[in-house]
Amino acid sequence: MSSSNTLESRPASSISGHHDMAFDAKSMNSQTCLQAKQEKKKGSFLSRFVNTLWATRQTRDFDENADLLVKTTLKELIIYIIFLIIISIVTFGMTSSINYYFTNVMMKLFLEQPDSNDMTFKDIGSIDDFWGVHSEPILNGLYWETEENATKPGYIYFENKLLGVPRLRQLRVRKGSCKVHSLFEKTITDCYDSYSYFNEDQSPFGIHQVYNSTDDKNPFVYSSSDKVKASIVDGTFSTYGRGGYVKNLGLMMAESKEIIENLKSNTWIDRGTRAVFFDFTVYNANINLFCQIRLLTEFPATGGAFPSWTFRTVKLIRYVTPMDYFVLACEIIFILFVLYYTIEETLEIKKHKLKYFKEVWNILDVVILLLCYICIGFNIYRVIEVNNVLDSLLGNINQFPDFDSLSYWQNQFNNAVAVMAFLSWIKFFKYISFNKTMTQLSSTLARCAKDIAGFSVMFFIVFFAFAQLGYLLFGAIVEDYSSFSNTLFALFRTILGDFDFVALESASRYLGPIYFLSYVFFVFFVLLNMFLAIINDSYSDVKSDIAEQKSDFELGDYFKRGYAKILTKMNLKKDKIVDIQEALAVADSDGDKNLSFDEWRAELRKRGYADAEIEAYFAKYDKDGDRNLTDEERKIMEEDLKNQSNEIESDMKKFQREATITPEEESDSESSEDEEEESKKNLVSHIEFNILTKRVDTMEASIGSIVNRIDSVLSKLDTIEQAKLKRREAMTKILDKLNNANSVKDDVQRAKLQEMIRQELENWDQPLSATPQRAISSRAVSPLAQSASSLEMRKKSAIKQQ
């Protein structure tokens, strides 16, 4: 009562306020729950999206769900096939056969054109040869100043634009950089060592003081690498630095020829010269290709001159034609694939931790992704750097364009892309490894890895022994054996049948043939065949193992299950149409040839159809909307049902034919029919088969009873044999005591011995006087058991008589 009075005494505003607060609290709780459900729903959607898009065999638990495993594997395989197609388009879009022809034209022009003395660049052997070739065929190839090309100076073959001006660069060594033996110090006063960074000469030489040019253009003054910006070059005799004594040629042939004659007359090349580089770049706008050319002539400490060359044909301006922009679109898709696989590998690493790196395929995935990111980064760098170089060149055409480093890194980029494409194709085995046949290569290599490792030690001991012997014997005479690395490659080529026996015989008339024959015998006939035997044995073992094991799953079984599901759906659809046809035939209960909706609904409700489905199907053919199907409307329905049924039957037949009959089965059908006819001739009739079956069953029953009897006899014999052994031991003890008793005079002890003999004789007879059941069972075992017991009794009587 007090509480009610208190409540009644409260003002109405406070009561309404409490109601409002309660309502607000409920609404807040409901909003919070709704937000939580939405966040949970979003989280579950995101997790499902990630699990669906990045689901792999390493991130998903299948729990013996074979269909899910097949679907995941097929999804991975299809996505990776698309990725391979994109890689192929991108890589083939970077190069073409025209690169080879462009390089070949440039090589023939600058390497094979002779001078007035019929000397080409390849034939250079001295300083005079160098000046003769560079002042005539090289300049003639660079400057096509003919009447046809007068309006377009700086073009080679009328189509190839010479970018900027060519450049000559020399590297030298210091005078006295080597030590002369004391015996020749008075005779030989000057000594110039081979080129190295420590022996490089950077001081001015020659007529540097009177040469009419600034220090930056003075060819007798050393220019640092910061000014020259050349790249490090690996020559035949040494690795050359980035600086040097530099001289740029002119835009016209007369100017360039004057510069070369001036350098020749002022002895720009002398005993201290070790390498001279002639660099220039050509661009062909027709095919959008750059060709960076370097003609290197080395003057080693041995004397003479040795030419070498580098032609780098690259596509630095990537996007010009519509095909180039199509390749650009593929490159964007390639980047998306790289991001996709990056997320996939991240999820796998997150799940498996360090175990991820125990599989070779996973390491291969990481290597491919790293190469992809390197290629993407260089692609962006190349676009920016090419634009900078071209802008600088267009601002001053009298300078030497620095395309050397760009062409070098473009070549490295091409190499990285080639390796990445190669590894991507090798990775394809990862996605088809579910088939046991596709694992033959990896299984063979894994099985013979230890044997090959042991064989490799033995092989390389013999191989390096022959390599060192060949290098020491023929290194000074035969070019293939001039260095240890060349010797190794020469011996590898000999294994493949590429050798020069005449050169070895010319170097040493006796040691050459002996060396060659011994190497061929030990390496080719013995070691190589051992290697092949290891591979063959491992492959045979793998083939036998594969024949016994099963694949992870069979795609054929999966497609057969899908085929069965499709047929089931078709059959259900056909059954439904037949059911509707039957309902249409009997639904007109009053026989007025007008099918009302109520009659239609009543008949289909008996057959288990829903009202919505009945209404939709009836309305489809009730054109006038009077809720009655006339005779004409019923005929239209019957015709449609008949057509649908015929279409389903034709689809089923077609699907069965395509799914069940393969080309191999078609080719083998005739032979299989002949084999069936021949096999039918050797078959027995059904009656004969039943008679044979009954005989076999009777034989099995009789054999079973015989086996049981034999087992019981053998167990009884084992028991008798054990008893015999125990009694024999007891009688042995008694006889020993009797022998001892002859010397004993004590009557008490003699009485004890007699008692022991009497007890033993009673125990001897005990198995014969066993319990009745045991005696009956022992007598009813078999005649063999009875004969065994009688034999035992005879033995006992003989022992008693003794």
Specify binding-site residues for Ca(2+).
Answer: 622, 624, 626, 633
Q: What angle do CA 385, 390, 396 make, to 5 degrees?
A: 130
DSSP state of 136: I
Q: Is residue 239 within 8 Å of 232, Cβ to Cβ? A: yes
Which amino acid is located at 745 in the chain?
K
**56 neighbors 356 (Cβ within 8 angstroms):** no
**Residues in CB range of 519: below 8 A, 6 or more apart:** 466, 470, 491, 494
Q: Is 169 strand, coil or helix? A: strand
Q: 118, 122, 166: which is closest to 143 by C-alpha?
A: 166
Long-range contacts of 332-336 (CB under 8 A, 24+ apart): 333/86, 334/86, 334/87, 334/90, 334/372, 335/376
Give the separation between CA 764 and CA 774, rounded to whole angstroms.
Answer: 17
Contact of 298 with 306, CB cutoff 8 Å? yes
Q: Give binding residues as ranges.
A: 622, 624, 626, 633
Angle between helices 555-586 and 631-660 (to 10 degrees): 160
Q: Kindly report the CA angle at 365 between 364 and 370, in degrees rounded to 5?
A: 95
3-class SS at 649? helix
Phi, psi of 247 (to 5 degrees): -145, 125
Task: Encode 560-603 in three state secondary structure.
Answer: HHHHHHHHHHHHHHHHHHHHHHHHHHHCCCCCCCCEEHHHHHHH
SS3 313: strand
Tell the burial category of 403 from Cβ atoms under 10 Å away from its Cβ (0-12, 13-18, 19+): buried
> Which residues are CB-neighbours of 401 under 8 A, at least 6 positions away?
163, 164, 281, 389, 392, 393
Evaluate whether 98 touches 306 at the Cβ level (below 8 Å).
no
Amino acid identity, position 331: E
Residues 6+ apart with CB under 8 A from 195: 171, 173, 237, 238, 240, 274, 275
